[in-house]
Amino acid sequence: MPVFDLSVTSLREFNSMLHSLTVGANDTAFEVVNPRGHHAVAVGIDTPVTVDIRGSVGYYCAGMNDGGTVTVHGSAGPGVAENMMSGTVVIEGDASQYAGATGQGGLLVIKGNAASRCGISMKGIDIVVHGNIGHMSAFMGQSGHLVVLGDAGDALGDSLYEAKLFVRGSVQSLGSDCIEKEMRPEHLQKLAELLERAGVRGVKPEEFKRYGSARKLYNFNIDNADAY
């Protein structure tokens, strides 16, 4: 496995190497040491490679990931896996604000806590947080799933579209047009699948509550003017 030491190799050189890879390349697994909080580590991956980052990273790690598997053995700054298309991103520690923002596919796993706006404007990404999430998470979430094993902060799912939210702990408050919904068999089945993919053991889907859109803000209604 090639090892890149970011105290010696420039971040630009490392990312350029990842961008130059093609399907069928000899090397498909890479290790990064001494990331030292660098921003934009392993962004723009578009081949099925594996990247293990030994330490914490700054902004936008694994942004625009399309098919890669990136594991951060530490914590991540704002915007981790932003606009991810496919693949898997795993954060062994905590994630800062707007993790998985605008993500269109793939799986983001955060084994610690996530800060505010986790999954903001999500468009198909699946996000599993082992800990808690901050306020305004899944704001304007359009599709995909947000699974939280801990607690959720204020205004969960504000202005939500069709993303599905599952929270095992308490919710401080729900945002505009977000309501608790019935947990049907198909939701339990999907939740069980997501928990398994995220490496969660000993937790039952029945322990979660489901939240979704009340669909009252899809079209303007004068009776709901105060909510716009």
Burial class (CB in 10 A: 0-12, 13-18, 19+), 117: buried
What pLDDT, in 10s, does the model give residues 79-89? Answer: 999 999 999 99
Give the number of other Cβ atoms within 10 Å of residue 86's Cβ.
18
pLDDT grade for 1, boundaries at 50, 70 and 90: confident
Place of tokens 């909510």: 227
Mean pLDDT of 93-109: 98
> What is the rounded CA–CA span in Å between residue 88 and residue 5?
23
CB 61 within 8 A of CB 40: yes
pLDDT at position 67: 96
Q: What is the pTM of this model?
A: 0.94
| Beta strands 209-213; 164-167: pairing state | antiparallel
Q: Which domains does the chain have, with CATH numbers?
A: 3-216 (2.160.20.60)
Provide CB contacts within 8 A for 199, sequence distance 6+. Answer: 109
Mean pLDDT of 24-42: 93
CB 65 within 8 A of CB 86: yes
pLDDT grade for 29, boundaries at 50, 70 and 90: very high
Q: In what order do the strands lie in the sheet with 143-148?
A: 3-5, 29-33, 50-54, 66-72, 86-91, 107-110, 123-129, 143-148, 164-167, 209-213, 178-181
What is the dihedral sign for C-alpha 192, 193, 194, 198?
Answer: positive
> What is the rounded CA–CA span in Å between residue 100 and residue 109?
10
Mean pLDDT of 41-54: 97
CB 197 within 8 A of CB 107: yes
What pLDDT, in 10s, does the model give residues 173-220? Answer: 999 999 999 999 999 999 999 999 999 999 999 999 999 999 987 666
pLDDT at position 23: 78
CB 104 within 8 A of CB 87: no
